[in-house]
């Protein structure tokens, strides 16, 4: 106010005096402000550049559109891998000379063998497919000229394997990526994938006068229509949830915004006093553990006198984009344990986790151990990883650039769709899951018989954006859990704090959770660990009821006081058994807890605010 009055008074003075008065007033103000104490904020906010946020949003949107078009596969990662491989190979004249020599040797062996391929079959071909490669198992491939096609292909395949292996200076991860991409590219041109070079498709077409091709075209049209309409594959409608699968009697006894808890009805007059809580992965519907009655793990346990609880996860959508990984621990595992403890009070719980459900269960168990919560009687991890340093070929799709692309895709959608996840898993076994299926169904005109497991696999789920990003960054990229850097509620947890005995199952042919990666929990825990190595893959090896009398497994316990046994030594020394691992696990459960037999508990606990809400399988599994 004083400054304004002075300015008005100065305006009445002559021009020369007015200029001198203005200069004196300005000098006075500068001196006064210089003498005043200066207040500096403790953290100066960064200077915002106009439009910076808008430009960043445009970049993310562009990457999200790219991710939609590529099904989540980063083109930049592919280019970088090939460029890195080519540059290192260009700087290795010795490696190039070795490859040239190998190419000449392959050509010489093929040229020397080719005349005998026409004359007779007594001379062994120069190359043999891998033991697990069934593409050329039909007898027609042994006849000329198809045997020549096969040998040429196997020769090229062996050359590319050598070309992408042991390149001097190439990083190990880049080498694995280059080898994988080379193998995928070579598989595309396999003679088994080319109808006019495939003796099976030729014979089928001749025998049926081309009607197999008409059926194949009809199969393709049906699959295309179903994909556009968002319908399941042909035949999956025969396995309706609640009618043909997920039919073990039970009630939903608890529900929150993330999961439902199912308590199965008892099937015996007495039950084991300690209940079993199963935590499936939310990347899949829970009923893989409750398929048809003959293959249901939940039903098998109930019929053998166990009280079984099962978590059924909600299938998230865009509204759940902010659901975090810790929400799955709090609202999933811990909420389920609290509910089980209310229904079966004063009893410890045998907790079992499958795949990603086992990972979050291990996190919850370590947190409980840190905080002095001893409600877990035993811990079972089925094909679940706690260390991700050697997570297998899936890591080829999970570098920084790839995950940034997925982050932007989820930022746009709010979730990651299962179709965008399945592309990577199918690529790991492209010869069987992609090209073999195309030949069978669209060239030979033969539909694969839909099974309950296949129908379950087609029952798609989604992953919340925030949770999936935290999972990929914190566990896969940074491997925080096994290194002691994973924090829960602001404090670090350690797997070695777990004192409950642990039963771990790895699968010999698991491409998602390789058994050697699963086995590494033995390095990071300080308790008795029983490890079972079962035949089969990630899903088939788990769904292996004893009545099927198929498969085999190895089993051995490493006690807390024993020295560490590395995986190859374990395989060489662990006893082998035929059949399913289920009975061995149940015997271990009985030995790990109380053997007391009691009357079955009531279903739900109305007095504790947990009344039965609806019949199993509940609402969320249908979403």
Active site residues: 355
Task: Kindly state the helix (H) or strand (E) to which residue 523 belongs, with its residue range.
Answer: helix 521-524
Would you list the DSSP string of 59-104?
HHHHHHHHHHHTTT--HHHHHHHHHHHHHHHHT-HHHHHHHHHHHH
Would you list the DSSP string of 15-67?
HHHHHHHHHHHHHHHHHHHHHSPPP--SSPPPPPPTTHHHHHHHHHHHHHHHH
Quote the CA–CA distance of 582 and 611 in Å, as a whole number.
31
For residues 316 and 463, is the Cβ–Cβ distance under 8 A? yes
For residues 352 and 324, is the Cβ–Cβ distance under 8 A? no
Token pair of 552 as six digits: 């085999």
Quote the CA–CA distance of 316 and 205 in Å, as a whole number.
46
Residue whose C-alpha is closest to residue 409's, from 346, 344, 468, 323 = 468
Would you list the DSSP string of 304-339?
TT--EEEEEE----GGGTT--HHHIIIIIIIHHHHH
Residue whose C-alpha is closest to residue 618's, from 240, 245, 250 = 250
Task: Kindly state the helix (H) or strand (E) to which residue 412 belongs, with its residue range.
Answer: helix 400-413
CA angle 15, 18, 19 (to 5 degrees): 90
For residues 486 and 513, is the Cβ–Cβ distance under 8 A? no
- DSSP code, position 115: H
The residue whose two tokens read 């007033």 is 25
Three-class DSSP labels, 267-295: CCCCEECCCEEEECCCCCCHHHHCCCHHH
Task: Kindly state the helix (H) or strand (E) to which residue 192 belongs, with its residue range.
Answer: none
For residues 487 and 367, is the Cβ–Cβ distance under 8 A? no
Quote the CA–CA distance of 26 and 48 in Å, as a whole number.
31
190 burial type by CB count under 10 A (0-12 exposed, 13-18 middle, 19+ buried)? buried
- DSSP code, position 510: -
User: Which bin fits 48, alpha (ψ -120 to 50), beta or left (φ > 0)?
Assistant: beta
For residues 292 and 585, is the Cβ–Cβ distance under 8 A? no
Residue whose C-alpha is closest to residue 120's, from 96, 100, 99, 147 = 147
Would you list the DSSP string of 339-399?
HHHHHSTT--EEEEEETHHHHHHHHHHHHHHHTT---EEEEEEES--S--TT--GGGGG-S
């Amino acid at each position: 106010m004083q400054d304004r009055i002075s300015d008005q008074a100065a305006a009445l003075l002559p021009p020369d005096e007015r200029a001198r008065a203005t200069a004196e007033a300005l000098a006075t103000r500068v001196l006064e402000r210089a003498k005043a104490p200066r207040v500096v904020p403790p953290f100066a906010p960064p200077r915002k550049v106009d439009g910076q946020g808008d430009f960043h949003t445009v970049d993310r949107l562009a990457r999200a559109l790219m991710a939609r078009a590529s099904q989540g596969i980063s083109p930049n990662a592919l280019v970088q891998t090939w460029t890195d491989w080519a540059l290192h190979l260009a700087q290795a004249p010795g490696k190039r000379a070795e490859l040239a020599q190998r190419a000449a040797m392959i050509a010489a062996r093929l040229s020397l063998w080719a005349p005998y391929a026409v004359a007779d079959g007594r001379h062994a071909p120069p190359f043999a497919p891998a033991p697990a490669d069934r593409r050329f198992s039909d007898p027609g491939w042994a006849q000329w000229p198809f045997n020549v096609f096969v040998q040429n292909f196997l020769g090229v395949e062996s050359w590319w394997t050598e070309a992408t292996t042991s390149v001097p200076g190439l990083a190990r991860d880049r080498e694995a990526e280059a080898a994988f991409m080379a193998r995928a590219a070579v598989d595309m041109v396999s003679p088994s994938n080319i109808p006019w070079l495939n003796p099976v498709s030729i014979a089928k077409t001749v025998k049926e006068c081309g009607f197999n091709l008409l059926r194949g075209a009809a199969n393709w049209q049906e699959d295309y229509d179903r994909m556009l309409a968002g319908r399941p594959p042909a035949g999956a409608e025969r396995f309706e949830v609640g009618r043909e699968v997920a039919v073990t009697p039970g009630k939903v006894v608890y529900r929150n915004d993330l999961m439902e808890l199912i308590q199965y009805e008892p099937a015996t007059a007495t039950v084991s006093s300690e209940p079993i809580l199963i935590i499936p992965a939310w990347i899949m519907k829970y009923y893989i553990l409750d398929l048809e009655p003959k293959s249901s793990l939940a039903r098998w346990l109930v019929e053998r006198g166990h009280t079984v609880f099962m978590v059924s996860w909600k299938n998230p959508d865009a509204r759940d984009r902010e659901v975090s990984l810790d929400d799955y621990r709090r609202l999933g595992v811990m909420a389920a344990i609290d509910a089980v403890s209310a229904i079966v009070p004063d009893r410890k719980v045998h907790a079992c986790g499958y795949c990603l459900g086992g990972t979050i269960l291990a996190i919850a168990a370590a947190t409980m151990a840190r905080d002095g919560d001893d409600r877990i009687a035993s811990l079972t991890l089925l094909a679940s990883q706690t260390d991700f340093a050697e997570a297998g070929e899936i890591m080829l799709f999970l570098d920084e650039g790839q995950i940034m692309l997925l982050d932007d895709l989820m930022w746009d959608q709010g979730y990651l769709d299962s179709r965008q996840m399945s592309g990577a898993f199918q690529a790991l076994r492209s010869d069987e899951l992609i090209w073999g299926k195309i030949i069978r169904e669209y060239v030979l005109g033969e539909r694969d018989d839909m099974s309950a497991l296949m129908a379950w696999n087609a029952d798609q789920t989604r992953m919340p954006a925030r949770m999936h990003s935290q999972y990929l960054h914190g566990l896969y990229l940074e491997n925080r859990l096994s290194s002691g850097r994973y924090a829960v509620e602001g404090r670090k947890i350690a797997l070695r704090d777990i004192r409950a005995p642990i039963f771990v199952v790895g699968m010999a042919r698991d491409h998602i959770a390789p058994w050697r990666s699963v086995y590494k929990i033995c390095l990071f825990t300080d308790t008795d660990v029983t490890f079972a190595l079962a035949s089969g893959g990630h899903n088939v090896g788990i769904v292996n009821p004893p009545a099927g009398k198929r498969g085999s497994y190895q089993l051995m316990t490493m006690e807390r006081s024993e020295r560490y046994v590395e995986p190859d030594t374990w395989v060489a020394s662990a006893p082998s058994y035929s059949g399913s691992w289920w009975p061995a696990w149940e015997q271990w459960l009985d030995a790990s807890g109380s053997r007391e037999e009691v009357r079955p508990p009531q279903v739900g606990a109305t007095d504790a605010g947990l009344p039965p809400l609806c019949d199993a399988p509940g609402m969320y599994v249908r979403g």
